[in-house]
Every structure is written in C-alpha cells, then in structure tokens.
C-alpha cells in the first residue's frame, strides 16, 4: 500500500483527480484507484513516474534500521498483564503530576 499511498498523496497535493493523473500517465482512472486503495501494487518505477507527472519528485534514502520499538514491545510482552497495568497506572499518575506542576 505504500506506493499507492505515495501516489495518492502526490495527486492530492497537486490538486488533481484520479482521472487527470491517469490521463497524464496514459492509463485509466480505475487503475489509479486500485493503486490508491491497495487493491493493486504499482512497481517502484510506476510510483516514481506517477509522482513525477503530478509535479513532484520522490526522494529515497537508505538509513540504518531501528528496531527500538520491537525491543520495547518484547520487553512489555515479558510482563504479566497485571504488571503492564501497574506500569500504565504509574505512568498516568506521573503524567498527571507533571501536568499539575506545569499549571500550578
């Protein structure tokens, strides 16, 4: 769905309809709709071309992976439900104290 979401974002930013984008690409509105809804996956070159005809460029970078979220999830799953609930209650209490000190 990422490719379709990128196409939809570029199209909306350009202020054009699916039909207008399809015409610029030499395809049909239904094809663009399938991409944008995830019913069909455009290949990378198609995504780049669609974004380009909408008036934008797609910049792509390679960066180091970050599995920090996965690590946190694994740590939480090692806790019992009661322990997770206790942590949540403590976090809410800390947040409430922080808000109260900011306003008072």
Query: Domain range spanning residue 21?
Result: 2-53
* CATH number of the domain bearing residue 17: 1.10.260.40
Buried b (16+ CB within 10 A) or exposed e, 51-84: bebbebeeeeeeeeeeeeeeeeeeeeeeeeeeee
63/7: higher pLDDT: 7
Per-residue confidence (pLDDT) for residue 1, from 0 to 100: 67
Q: Determine contact, residues 38/84, Cβ cutoff 8 Å.
A: no
Total of domains in the chain: 2
Residue 15's pLDDT is what?
98
Q: How confident is the model at residue 12 (pLDDT cuts 50, 70, 90)?
A: very high
Query: Residue 60: inside a domain, yes or no?
Result: no
DSSP one-letter code for 27: S
Q: List, for residues 27-79, the tens digit of each pLDDT value.
A: 999 999 999 999 999 999 999 999 999 999 999 889 888 888 899 899 999 99
């Amino acid at each position: 769905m990422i490719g379709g979401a990128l196409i939809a974002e570029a199209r909306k930013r350009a202020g054009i309809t699916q039909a207008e984008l399809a015409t610029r690409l030499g395809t049909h509105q239904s094809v663009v709709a399938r991409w944008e809804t995830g019913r069909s996956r455009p290949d990378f070159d198609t995504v780049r071309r669609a974004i380009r005809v909408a008036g934008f460029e797609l910049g792509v970078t390679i960066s180091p992976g970050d599995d920090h979220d996965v690590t946190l999830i694994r740590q939480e799953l090692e806790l019992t439900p009661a322990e997770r609930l206790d942590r949540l209650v403590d976090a809410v209490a800390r947040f409430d104290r922080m808000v109260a000190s900011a306003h008072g």
